[in-house]
Amino acid sequence: MKRLEDLRGVGPKRLEILSKNGITSLMALLATLPSGYVDALNPTPLGLLTQEAHCVGGVVLDHPRKHFYGGKSAVRASLGDGSGVLSLAWFNQPWMSTQVKKGDSLLVYGKVSFYQGVAGMTNPRIIQRRGIEPVYRAMPGLPGRTFSALARQALDNMTDESAETLPQWFLDEWRLCGKRFAWEQAHFPQSQALLEQAKRRLAFENLLLYQTALLAVGQRGRAGLPLKGREKDLGRYWSAMPFSPTEAQRAALQDVFDDLNSGYAMRRLLQGDVGSGKTAVAFGAAWLATRSGYQCAMMAPTEILAQQHAASAARLLSSLGIASGLLTSSLSAGERQTALERIANGSWQLVIGTQALISETVKYHRLGLVITDEQHRFGVRQRQTLVEKPGGNVQAHMLALSATPIPRSLALVMYGDLDVSLIQEKPPGRLPVNTRVVPEGKRTQLFSYILASAQRGEQCFYVCPLVEESEELSVKSVKETYEYLKRGPLKTLRLGMAYGQQDEGEKSLALRRFSAGELDVLVASSVIEVGVDVPGATIIAIEDAERFGLAQLHQLRGRVGRGNKESWCFLLGPFNDRLTVLTQSDNGFFIAQKDLEQRGPGQFLGTLQHGRELPDAFGVKDMRLLEETNRCLRFLASEPRHKPFLEYLTGLSQNAFGGVFSSGRH
């Protein structure tokens, strides 16, 4: 088979651009799939536009207008198709005013946004050909058109046989098309139906290999550190707690105990709704590990959460004789040095921290247990790196905590093949959080309620809108809301603020003061979403609630209702079916299911991308495919006659994803 450098138009310079993008063979070139398609065969009717990229067709309704301002030009026109109107604007392309004429039929492509209810498109691309055009991720120095030409040549230099990776019987059994055909249709689609076939084939293989690699991670070094626990340690732990455990907490810690004593490495996911008391179970696990002389590391996704866990650990575990400490990236050089020493010489039996725990420079002392809190915020790799810290063939035991209930098939992709303990009950005496939607006209009443509650000594979280696109805008929204509330409606109260990019010292001071009851209102971004525990807070008000996912709103709501007082969650936004779900249910599993129905699995997969280890997103949005590949893999694993084929797949999966899961030190 030809090599990349044998293709026409590929000289040393292009070869370098390609290799910078991870493309070093014809196969890799073809495996670089378009990030999307412009479907000029099926334009979206203007009445059905959503805030995404669309291809639309219509008639130009008026003569384009050209404006100049400050040396720049803007050409504006509008397009109509009987179902709606779209306004178009081209900036710095003055020639567009003569290219587009009133009455022309036009096919354009671009991202749609809404301004005061009117749909608009900025710098739309005019589509000449009525086909399906691939759109490639930008590679500086290699335009999409050139990339297409290279893909064409690569395909022409390949036969069906030389491109194929899977045997014919397998393709037949799972209704998959051949690989070369799939690549052909992915890069040069002839119709949506053929493109769908291609996506199915390529995504199927990708997901299957990804899951195969995960399975291999699950099996590697399964022999665990032997912990010689005694049943009475469990009783001793719970009696040292200031509360008696719920049945579910007791059962979960029993599961952990059994794992630790099984001789195998524990790989357990503890799933429980917000406020169900997962931390106490995790600390119990730490206690069990220290009983056998092992150290435990607990990793949290945010600094705030790590600090809070460290404070709870100091409070709850010192009576059991467990010394613990905090390691985060905001420690001073001196503090860090001390922390590193105490970790290395084992005087800290429990180390709590952020991702700083993973760093090469942290040397542990008999690390036996790794706990990750809010696991959905981490990737498998980060978790795995920590688990492999003891070195050699030994892996630490692992307990992952998560409040995000997700379907089994997705869990397999996000967590690997873990055993699951569920906590489906809450500690007794919890009152459900009253939830109300507050439309624009009722704000004044909300403020009066916050003022009255503060009189009674109750506290309020005031959460600002989520601005996903830009951290800067998020900060702006927190600061502006803070100023507004402080000067206006809540000026008699003590206000503080907390947001993601804030100076760590300021942030933790604000949180400490809020926890201590020295502040009435904490204006915050969604940084408080995960785990922050302030029992005195009885109100959470969420601005622009529409922007959040239901599962996330439920997490936010979980910040209140932790004490014994009646609590309230106010969702500022319009009455609609979506927000109403939250007023009707307090059950995280039910809400996650609704969220999945309404928004698809994308948001769960979205969190995954922080780990940057997702299999190529080509088609991965399809839950059913994920379930199907999962079923396929289980079937192969259960049939002895497929053992050689499974081994072959494992080999392929190591090439594709092997490096993704290991820490690179093996």
| Site residues, Mg ion (CB under 5 A) | 531
Q: Is 273 helix (H, G, I), strand (E, B) or coil?
A: coil
The entry of Mg ion, ligand ADP, none near residue 284 (CB within 5 to 8 angstroms by kind) is none
The entry of Mg ion, ligand ADP, none near residue 276 (CB within 5 to 8 angstroms by kind) is ligand ADP
> Binder to ligand ADP among 246, 295, 421, 538 (CB under 6 A)?
246
Amino acid identity, position 649: L
The entry of ligand ADP, Mg ion, none near residue 243 (CB within 5 to 8 angstroms by kind) is ligand ADP
Nearer to Mg ion (CB atom), residue 164 or residue 533: 533
Q: How far apart are CA 473 and CA 368, in angstroms?
A: 42
Q: How far is the CB of 607 from ligand ADP (least distance, A)?
A: 17
Among the listed ranges 151-159, 174-182, 375-383, 530-538, the one in contact with ligand ADP (CB under 6 A) is 530-538
The entry of Mg ion, ligand ADP, none near residue 36 (CB within 5 to 8 angstroms by kind) is none
Q: Are strands 72-80 and 53-60 parallel, antiparallel or unpaired?
A: antiparallel
Q: How far apart are CA 411 and CA 417, in angstroms?
A: 8
Tell me the per-residue interface mask from 559 to 598 with ligand ADP, x by CB under 6 A, - otherwise.
---x------------------------------------
The entry of ligand ADP, Mg ion, none near residue 619 (CB within 5 to 8 angstroms by kind) is none
Nearer to Mg ion (CB atom), residue 306 or residue 450: 306
Q: How far apart are CA 402 and CA 258, in angstroms?
A: 20
CA dist list (Å): 409 to 88, 207, 412, 418, 626: 42, 11, 5, 12, 6
Among the listed ranges 227-235, 275-283, 492-500, 583-591, the one in contact with ligand ADP (CB under 6 A) is 275-283
Q: How far is the CB of 415 from ligand ADP (least distance, A)?
A: 17
Q: How far is the CB of 642 from ligand ADP (least distance, A)?
A: 41
Secondary structure E strands in 51-206: 53-60, 65-69, 72-80, 85-91, 105-115, 118-122, 125-126, 132-135
Among the listed ranges 45-53, 269-277, 363-371, 385-393, the one in contact with ligand ADP (CB under 6 A) is 269-277
Nearer to Mg ion (CB atom), residue 273 or residue 595: 273
Pick the closest to residue 189 from 24, 42, 49 (CA basis): 42
> Binder to ligand ADP among 248, 274, 387, 467 (CB under 6 A)?
274
Handedness of CA 38, 42, 47, 49 (dihedral sign): negative
Q: How far apart are CA 175 and CA 34, in angstroms?
A: 23
Nearer to ligand ADP (CB atom), residue 106 or residue 274: 274
Q: How far apart are CA 56 and CA 47, in angstroms?
A: 10
Nearer to ligand ADP (CB atom), residue 403 or residue 467: 403
Nearer to Mg ion (CB atom), residue 120 or residue 531: 531
Under rule CB under 6 A, residue 120 binds ligand ADP: no
> Binder to ligand ADP among 187, 199, 201, 278 (CB under 6 A)?
278
Amino acid identity, position 527: V
Q: How far is the CB of 545 from Mg ion (least distance, A)?
A: 22
The entry of ligand ADP, Mg ion, none near residue 264 (CB within 5 to 8 angstroms by kind) is none
Nearer to ligand ADP (CB atom), residue 46 or residue 282: 282
The entry of Mg ion, ligand ADP, none near residue 414 (CB within 5 to 8 angstroms by kind) is none
Number of residues that bind ligand ADP (CB under 6 A): 18
Spatial neighbors of 575 by CB under 8 A, at least 6 apart, are 437, 439
Burial tier of 444 (Cβ tally within 10 Å: 0-12, 13-18, 19+):
exposed
Pick the closest to residue 129 from 193, 41, 252 (CA basis): 41
The torsion of the CA quartet 241, 428, 526, 583, rounded to 10 degrees, works out to 180
Under rule CB under 6 A, residue 194 binds ligand ADP: no
Contact 2, 26 (CB under 8 A): yes
> Binder to ligand ADP among 417, 425, 533, 544 (CB under 6 A)?
533
Q: How far apart are CA 376 and CA 414, in angstroms?
A: 7
Q: How far is the CB of 404 from Mg ion (least distance, A)?
A: 11
Q: Give the residue closest to ligand ADP by C-beta.
A: 277
Nearer to ligand ADP (CB atom), residue 26 or residue 532: 532
> Binder to ligand ADP among 224, 229, 531, 573 (CB under 6 A)?
531
Q: How far is the CB of 282 from ligand ADP (least distance, A)?
A: 8
Q: Chain-centre distance of CA 398, in angstroms?
A: 21
Q: How far apart are CA 137 and CA 472, in angstroms?
A: 25
Under rule CB under 6 A, residue 134 binds ligand ADP: no
> Binder to ligand ADP among 224, 272, 465, 561 (CB under 6 A)?
272
Q: Chain-centre distance of CA 603, in angstroms?
A: 7
CA dist list (Å): 615 to 269, 446, 471, 654: 22, 45, 26, 13
Q: How far is the CB of 316 from ligand ADP (least distance, A)?
A: 8
Q: How far apart are CA 337 and CA 3, in angstroms?
A: 51
Contact 624, 175 (CB under 8 A): no
Q: How far apart are CA 373 and CA 309, in angstroms?
A: 10
Nearer to Mg ion (CB atom), residue 531 or residue 619: 531
The entry of ligand ADP, Mg ion, none near residue 280 (CB within 5 to 8 angstroms by kind) is ligand ADP
Under rule CB under 6 A, residue 276 binds ligand ADP: yes
Tell me the per-residue interface mask from 280 to 309 with ligand ADP, x by CB under 6 A, - otherwise.
x-----------------------------
Nearer to ligand ADP (CB atom), residue 18 or residue 433: 433
The DSSP line for 489-517 is TTTTS-EEEE-TTS-HHHHHHHHHHHHTT
Q: How far is the CB of 457 from ligand ADP (least distance, A)?
A: 18
Range 138-145, long-range pairs (CB < 8 A, 24+ positions): 139/17, 139/21, 140/17, 141/13, 141/14, 141/17, 142/14, 142/17, 142/18
Among the listed ranges 64-72, 240-248, 598-606, 648-656, the one in contact with ligand ADP (CB under 6 A) is 240-248
Under rule CB under 6 A, residue 405 binds ligand ADP: no
Widest distance between CA atoms in the chain: 85
- Contacts with ligand ADP, residue ranges (CB under 6 A): 243, 245-246, 249, 272, 274-280, 403, 427, 531, 533, 535, 562
